[in-house]
Structure 1
Amino acid sequence: MNEYDVTGNDGGKGSLLKALAEAGFLLGLERNSDVVEMASNAPLFVNANDRRFNADAIVFDSSKVYGTPSYWMQHLFKESNGATLLNSKLQTNSSSSLIASAVSWKNPEDNKSYFRIKIVNFGSNIISLKVLIDGLDGKSIDASGSTITTLTSTNVKDENSFNEPKKVAPTTSPLENASNKMNVILPPYSLTSIDLPRKSNVIQVAGSTALHTSQ
C-alpha cells in the first residue's frame, strides 16, 4: 500500500500546488496499476483546533467542515478502481509541463461506458492540447453528454477555508467539440478531466490516445 502526501512550504495547509503534485503522483500510480495494489492520502482528517500536521485532506471543527484542494482532486480518481488503462502518449515539440493518463470505465449509475483523460499542467502557460483517440470512431462518442472538469485557481498557493470552502474546487462544463479528434485548452497550474461517454454500452478499448500540445 502507498501512502502519499505533499508537505512543506509549498503544501501550506492544503494548497492547489500540493493537490497538483499529488495528482501527478496518482497519474503515475494509475499508469503502473499492474504493480500498485492500494494508495491512500494520509493523514485524511484534522481538527482545526488540534492541528498537528499541515497537509490533511479534510478539515473540521465542532460545527463546520471543508475539503482541501487535495480532497477535490481525489474526486477525479474515484473511477480509476476497476477501470481499463489505455495506452497514451504525450507528443510535444518542446519541453512540456504535462503528465496524463487515459482510462475506460463503466458508470454503474447510468450504466454507460466512458473514456476519461486526465491531464496535469504544472506550468504557468496556457496550453492547447490536441487529443487523438486511435481506433475509436467519432460517431461512437455521445457528444451531448461529454464534459470537461477543471481544478485550478488564480494563484497556485490558494487554499480553502471555513470562510471559502470551495475557493479551489472542480468546475464542470459541457465539452461542445467532443470527438475522437479535438482540441482542449488547459489553464496554467491545473488538473483537467475529460469525460467522453460511449453511445454503446460495450467498452471498446481504443488502440491508443495521443496528446499533442502547442503553445
Structure 2
Amino acid sequence: MASYAPLFVNDNDRTWNPDAIVFNSWQHYGTPSYWMQTLFRESGGAMIHSITVSSSYSGSLAASAITWQDSENSFLRVKVVNFGSDAVSLKISASGLEAIVNALGSTSTILTSGNVMDENSFSNPTKVAPVNSELSNAAEEMQVTLAPHSLSAFDLALAQSKLVAQM
C-alpha cells in the first residue's frame, strides 16, 4: 500500500508543493510525484529479491528488486533511482531466480526530464511522465545506462523454471 498527501490541489490555490494531481474546473494532470507513486504502486503483493548493482556512482543510486505477477506473467522488477546529475552506466546482476529471464516481454520504464525543476502543466501535462520501451538486452546480468535525476524500472519477464527449461 502507498499513500500520498496532499493528493489534489486546485490550480487557483497552490499553497503546497509537491502535490500529486493538479486540477481546475475542467481539466487535470499528474505531477512528476504522481508518476513516481504510480511506478511504485503497480507491483503490489510482491516478494523482495536480492540483486547486485555495480557502478562507480553507487553513492548517487538507490535500488530495489521484487518479483511480482500480473494476471498472466511473472517479472523481476528492478527499480533504480539516480539522484545524481550524471548519467550512470551500471551492471545489474540477479541470481537465485527460479526462472530464466526472457528478453521477450521485458520492458523498461524511465521517469526523467532534462531539468530537475521541470513540472507538468495544463499546456504540457506529460512534460515529465514515464516512457515505456522494450528491453531487448534483458538478462540475469545486463548493462544499463541511467539518465541523470531519474527513476528507472526494469521489468524482466521470467520464463519457465530453469529445471524445466533444461529438460
TM-score greater than 0.5 by the shorter chain: yes
Aligned to 2:114: 154
| Distance 1:55-1:94 versus aligned 2 partners, 3 A rule | closer
Q: Indicate whether 1:52 and 2:12 are aligned.
A: no
Q: Indicate whether 1:61 and 2:24 are aligned.
A: yes
1:15-164 correspondence runs (5 A) = 38-93=1-56, 96-108=59-71, 111-136=72-97, 140-164=100-124
Letter in 2 for 1:66: Y
CA contact (8 A) 2:55 2:88 kept: no
Unmatched runs of 5 consecutive residues or more in structure 1:
1-37, 203-215
Higher strand share: 2
CA contact (8 A) 2:45 2:68 kept: yes
Higher helix share: 1
Distance 1:74 1:85 in 2: 18
CA deviations on 1:43-74 (whole Å, 9 max, x unpaired) are 10011123332321000001110000011111
**Matched length:** 161
CA-based RMSD: 1.9
CA contact (8 A) 1:143 1:196 kept: yes
CA deviations on 1:158-197 (whole Å, 9 max, x unpaired) are 0000011000000011111111111011011100000011
Q: Equivalent pairs: percent with the same residue?
A: 53
CA deviations on 1:80-122 (whole Å, 9 max, x unpaired) are 42100112344445652000000000102xx211110000001
CA contact (8 A) 1:83 1:105 kept: yes
Distance 2:57 2:68 in 1: 32
TM-score (normalizing by structure 1): 0.70
Distance 2:75 2:147 in 1: 23
| Distance 1:62-1:94 versus aligned 2 partners, 3 A rule | closer
Q: Which of 195, 205, 215 in structure 1 is aligned with 2:155?
A: 195
